[in-house]
Amino acid sequence: SERLARAAAEVLAGVVLGGATLEPSLETADGTAVVEAAPAPAPAAPEPLLITNARGEAVRVPPKYAAARQLPKAPAAGPRAYAKDQPRDATLDGLVAALLARLFEFQERVRLHDPLKAKMRRRLVFGLREVRRGVRAKNVKWLVVAPNIDEGSELQKHLDEILEAARDAETTVIFALGKRKLGKALRKSVGVSVVAIYNCDGAYDEYRAVAARLKELARDPSLAVAPGAPQRPKKDKAAAAAAAK
């Protein structure tokens, strides 16, 4: 059969017989030579990829990850339609993250000491059901919403209901950070879409900083610094005064 003929040709290929090297070929019953398709070339191994670690050292990425690292990155999605009324601002993101972290720290401290008191006097809540309940009861001072929720998803439908209730209650809505970074600010390993702030006890400095930045952006949206863009370093007033002398 053809399979046995191919196996025999592979075994005899390269064998030296009588000083000649055998190069067997396959032919059909009528004497027509069978043309073998050339084997596909093996894929080239990706070139070694070097990255810089946290200590500034150049390290080589393992080959199985190097190919993935060299793929083109998908362009970052812009702000969703529900968040276009407020410009994205890296400065505001940092201030909001600091505020949420401080409020959550105080809330957890009270919860560990007196869980019942902590539940009655919560500083913030997250989760669609808890947030919706607080907004409808007009107990929410600020509503922090991630600006990167997928449009058309079931999550956005619930978010639209919460935003509509917030407008009816005249609650201030802040679009900042993102689902992953909101969760990180609250020490969660999963993303958080929306956070309702009830009060800012113990974090008034952070609260005033966020309020001041919101006023600046409302007065002049061009002051917004796009996330990921290099920020202009703040000048040291003492050093500037010394240089002027």
State whether residue 216 is helix, strand or coil. helix
pLDDT tens across 71-102, in order? 665 555 556 676 777 888 889 999 999 999 99
pLDDT tens across 192-234, in order? 889 999 988 888 899 999 999 999 988 988 888 887 655 554 5
pLDDT at 238 over 70: no
Whole-model pTM: value is 0.60
Please report the DSSP string for 134-162 in residue order.
HHHTT--SEEEE-TTPPTTSHHHHHHHHH
E-strand stretches of the chain: 16-17, 20-21, 49-52, 58-61, 124-126, 142-145, 172-175, 194-197
Q: Are 140 and 196 in contact (CB under 8 A)?
A: yes
Q: What is the pLDDT of residue 94?
A: 92
Q: Are 89 and 220 in contact (CB under 8 A)?
A: no
pLDDT at 31 over 80: no
Q: What is the pLDDT of residue 96?
A: 92
Q: What is the pLDDT of residue 64?
A: 64
pLDDT at 12 over 80: no
How many Cβ atoms are within 10 Å of 109's Cβ, its own excluded? 12
Q: What is the pLDDT of residue 110?
A: 78
pLDDT at 128 over 80: yes
pLDDT tens across 160-192, in order? 888 889 888 888 889 988 888 988 988 888 888
Q: What is the pLDDT of residue 95?
A: 93
H-run or E-run covering 105 = helix 90-113
